[in-house]
Amino acid sequence: MRAKAQTTALESYRAVIYGFSRRIVEAQRPIRVLEAVKWPRSVAEALKKLDRTQALPLLTADDYRNENPLGYDPLEKQRELLEIAKDIERDLDRSDPLRGLLIHIVEQYIDVIEMLKNRGTKRFWELSRKLYGSPRDPFDLQEKSVLDLGRNLSEILTRIDGPDLGLGSVKNLSAEHVVDTLNDRFRICFPGDRVKAKISDGIIADAAAGGDTVKIRSDSSFSARDVDVLEVHEGWVHVGTTQNGNAQSTAQWLSKGPPRVASTQEGLAVLMEILTFRSYPRRAKQINDRILAVDHAESGADLFDLLEFYRVSGYSEEDAMKNAKRIFRGSHLGGGAPFTKDISYCRGFFEVYHFMRSAIRAGRPELVPFLFAGKMHVDDVPLLYQKYQEGVIDPPVFLPPPFRDLNGIAVWMSFSASLTNMDGERIQERYERLFQLYL
């Protein structure tokens, strides 16, 4: 009788969590952040013909509202989400940690809508900073900030980007070729043709991941290295975690990504590039330079200033505009109010790396694969694993090859942990003296 009562209580609890999950998923469905922060077409066209002798075009809240409408009533959507938060607060026990997590997710969606209502204003940046963070934020509990880490990595990467490393990265592959290649690879990783690559003209970046699709911009060219990166970054991580979230029988909210999960998603994707040796210095530098660019824009740099930052850093005119455009999505062009999401890549890498290393060092390697159970923040993993043990969360169906067998990662993280106890600066000085002596 006792076992039957426990089963009935679990089924009842799962039904409640599933109900809230479905309500959250449905409520957030029309909220499309990256679509909403795209520049209005009139401004994008004006910038194609602009040079530094002319004034920057005005990009106002009215431009966003009139040329890039949200497609839903923001106030009504916020009221709907607030009602969900109240119901979660009422129906879930105060001692249940899922109660606080689900309420926080709902409140983030409310803030997202508030941010999008304020596109083209300083308030947009204030909410972006609240949701995605700022380069000046301290990294975890340390004195160093995200910007400090970005500056340090930039100095290293600038020194090593050269022809002596190996094969170059000539961008001689068409979007059509990339789509065909990725689809051949996805058929192996994702059985049943569940995941596909396709051509798209509606994205800012060269590529973007959807629920079961990797979109490739039709007018972009790619290198063989780029294809390798897209396979693991967009496919294995972004689409893979969405697929695992969709497969959750109860925790359906894990199929969607509120801002709080951005750093873990992007950090896990960058880490995957590194673990599989797909990345390369120029790619890593481009990701890291986003931290410096966001900081420049927060400090008042306008679009022209940011274009100059990228030019001086060795980017072509086309790439300088692509990268600067990312920072000013949803913003006006005058500086001081950027979209800060792009700090997520490096910030997330540091967070995920240290989580994995800590899990291995603590003798809890079973936590590491749960990073792929859906779209979550790295700090959620212990809670979700506990709920897996209780029968509420399902394990990830899809795992990338490096995470199917953790032996290699466990050894790598173990050696990495031991190296932190050594005096790296003294070792560096010793070898630099040798370099200067003979080279």
Going by pLDDT thresholds of 50, 70 and 90, the confidence category of residue 292 is: very high
Model pLDDT, residue 168: 61
* pTM given for the model: 0.92
Model pLDDT, residue 30: 97
**Strand partners of residue 215:** 198, 208
Residues 6+ apart with CB under 8 A from 432: none
Model pLDDT, residue 3: 58
Residue 210 pLDDT greater than 90, yes or no = no
Whether the Cβ atoms of residue 269 and residue 232 lie closer than 8 Å to each other? yes
Structure confidence by residue, pLDDT tens digits, 177-205: 999 999 999 998 887 778 999 998 877 77
Point out the least confidently predicted range of 139-148, 232-241, 365-374. 139-148
Structure confidence by residue, pLDDT tens digits, 67-85: 999 999 999 999 999 999 9
3-state helix, strand, coil in the chain (%, to 5): 65, 5, 30
DSSP string covering 266-320: HHHHHHHHHHTT---HHHHHHHHHHHHHHHHHHTT--HHHHHHHHHHTT--HHHH
Model pLDDT, residue 173: 92
Q: How far apart are CA 89 and CA 96, in angstroms?
A: 10
Q: How far apart are CA 306 and CA 296, in angstroms?
A: 7
Model pLDDT, residue 126: 98
Where do the structural domains in the chain lie, given as residue ranges? Answer: 167-254
Whether the Cβ atoms of residue 121 and residue 61 lie closer than 8 Å to each other? yes
Run of H or E residues at 407: helix 407-419
Segment 312-341 shows an average pLDDT of 94
Q: How far apart are CA 326 and CA 41, in angstroms?
A: 15
Structure confidence by residue, pLDDT tens digits, 221-236: 999 999 999 999 999 9
Structure confidence by residue, pLDDT tens digits, 10-29: 999 999 999 999 999 999 99
Intra-chain end-to-end CA distance of the chain, in Å: 79
Q: How far apart are CA 39 and CA 329, in angstroms?
A: 6
Q: Which residue has the tokens 């509420």?
A: 392
Q: Based on the number of CB atoms within 10 Å of its own CB, is 74 exposed (0-12), middle (13-18) or buried (19 or more)?
A: middle
Model pLDDT, residue 412: 86
Comparing 218 with 51, the larger pLDDT belongs to 218
In one letter, which amino acid is 375?
K
Q: How far apart are CA 189 and CA 196, in angstroms?
A: 11
Structure confidence by residue, pLDDT tens digits, 403-418: 999 998 888 888 887 7
∠ Cα 268 271 276 (to 5°): 125
Angle between helices 281-298 and 317-327 (to 10 degrees): 50
Q: Based on the number of CB atoms within 10 Å of its own CB, is 136 exposed (0-12), middle (13-18) or buried (19 or more)?
A: middle
Residue 167 pLDDT greater than 80, yes or no = no
The runs of H, that is alpha helices, within 92-174 are 97-117, 122-132, 146-160
DSSP string covering 143-162: SSBHHHHHHHHHHHHHHH-S
Model pLDDT, residue 157: 87
Beta-sheet pairing, 207-209 with 213-217: antiparallel
Mean pLDDT score of the chain? 91
Model pLDDT, residue 166: 65
Model pLDDT, residue 243: 95
**Strand partners of residue 222:** 173
Residue 254 CB neighbours (<10 A): 26
- Across the beta sheet with 207-209, the strand order is 196-200, 213-217, 207-209
Model pLDDT, residue 312: 94
